[in-house]
């Protein structure tokens, strides 16, 4: 992989690699665009098959954070931290503290919280080394579990996409297929149950999916079958890249809205979904609840204020759908254009005004 060429193609500013002399830490931090403010993004711990795979994930996820913060109106740029390792086998105090020291060395250029493979309790181990953290447990001054408001925002996103696809906002009589029953997916299933939807749920962990199904009355689908399930709305809530050249032709839904990041494997897949007439809620709009929460935490967390911001997700999606129709472009391009326009205006402002003191 030509890293500089890849960075130039996607608009990245910087990629940093960290290794602790003691312990097992191998880490990557990618900065995408910091025009709107310091980079804000979670830290993912995952046993990648190769270094290239880890770098590509960091690049994709950091760009997604630029889009997520930008479309939600936050004053932060896009960044992402990667710890390359198995979160079950490799995670310990030494590794986490080493990572915290590197975060501290960036002196606020990167602020991080949890992601796949990391939890609020893990970040307590970073506190002796750095304060540039969000999503800490409430008892440590944080806002707590970000999956709560993320799942709520995904429900609102599903309702907005259902209104666009079926002309009605309520989910009664509709079937939603949920891929992934983890931190967000399980909570989403409870919301869907309460909203009157029929649920199909899938997860690679048999015990997890059986527990969620028993609690919500959902039907269980195989992890490799759920993307092609007969449903009204598909909700990807696992890892990214699930909407691709191979899966899109087999979709049997009219709308897609979920909590997973980077659901489109390539930009071209946005066109593939659009040409099939499927309403797609761009993931970085639908799942913005988590970043809205942690950004609010940096201002002094207030739950009601944060919840009110999350409740603007349907209005954002309506704007995205309107741009898509008016300009004849897919919804992913429409949402990306909204962010690009905002960044361009801020850049112009910075170029014409003296910096504030």
- Asked if 69 and 36 touch (Cβ cutoff 8 Å), the reply is yes
Spatial separation of the C-alpha atoms in residues 180 and 152, rounded to whole Å: 16
Could you tell me the sign of the dihedral formed by the alpha carbons of 86, 90, 91, 97, in that order? negative
Residue 187 annotated to the active site: no
Consecutive H or E run containing 15 = strand 14-19
**Total Cβ atoms within 10 A of residue 172:** 9
How many angstroms separate the most distant Cα atoms in the chain? 60
Ramachandran angles phi, psi of 3, nearest 5°: -65, -45
Could you tell me the sign of the dihedral formed by the alpha carbons of 146, 152, 155, 157, in that order? negative
- Catalytic one among 63, 68, 80, 333? 80
- Asked if 258 and 285 touch (Cβ cutoff 8 Å), the reply is no
Spatial separation of the C-alpha atoms in residues 296 and 161, rounded to whole Å: 26
CA-based nearest residue to 336, from 347, 322, 355, 320: 320
**Region for residue 288 given its phi and psi (left: phi exceeds 0; alpha: psi -120 to 50; beta: otherwise):** alpha
Q: Which residues are known catalytic residues?
A: 80
């Amino acid at each position: 992989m030509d890293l500089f060429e890849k960075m130039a193609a996607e608009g990245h500013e910087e990629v940093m690699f960290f290794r602790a002399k003691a312990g097992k830490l191998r880490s990557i931090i990618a900065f995408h665009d910091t025009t709107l403010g310091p980079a804000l993004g979670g830290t993912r711990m995952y046993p990648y098959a190769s270094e290239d795979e880890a770098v590509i994930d960091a690049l994709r996820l950091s760009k997604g954070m630029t889009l997520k913060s930008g479309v939600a109106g936050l004053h932060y740029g896009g960044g992402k931290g990667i710890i390359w390792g198995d979160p079950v086998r490799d995670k310990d105090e030494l590794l986490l503290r080493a990572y915290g020291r590197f975060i501290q060395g960036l002196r606020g250029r990167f602020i991080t919280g949890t992601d796949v493979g990391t939890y609020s309790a893990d970040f307590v181990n970073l506190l002796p080394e750095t304060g540039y953290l969000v999503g800490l447990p409430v008892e440590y001054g944080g806002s707590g579990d970000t999956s709560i408001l993320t799942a709520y925002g995904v429900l609102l996103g599903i309702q907005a996409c259902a209104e666009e696809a079926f002309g009605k906002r309520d989910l009664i009589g509709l079937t939603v297929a949920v891929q992934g029953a983890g931190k967000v997916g399980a909570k989403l299933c409870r919301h869907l149950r309460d909203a009157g939807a029929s649920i199909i749920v899938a997860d690679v962990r048999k015990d997890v999916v059986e527990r969620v199904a028993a609690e919500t009355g959902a039907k269980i689908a195989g992890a490799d079958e759920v993307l092609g399930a007969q449903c009204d709305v598909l909700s990807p809530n696992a890892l990214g890249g699930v909407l691709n050249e191979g899966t899109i032709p087999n979709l049997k839904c009219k709308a897609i809205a979920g909590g997973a990041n980077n659901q489109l494997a390539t930009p071209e897949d946005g066109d593939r979904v659009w040409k099939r007439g499927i309403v797609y809620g761009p993931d970085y709009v639908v799942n913005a609840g988590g970043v809205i929460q942690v950004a609010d935490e940096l201002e002094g967390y207030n739950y009601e204020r944060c919840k009110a911001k999350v409740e603007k997700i349907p209005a954002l999606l309506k704007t995205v759908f309107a741009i898509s129709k008016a300009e004849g472009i897919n919804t992913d391009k429409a949402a990306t254009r909204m962010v690009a326009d905002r960044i361009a205006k801020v850049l112009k402002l910075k170029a014409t005004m003296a910096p504030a003191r």
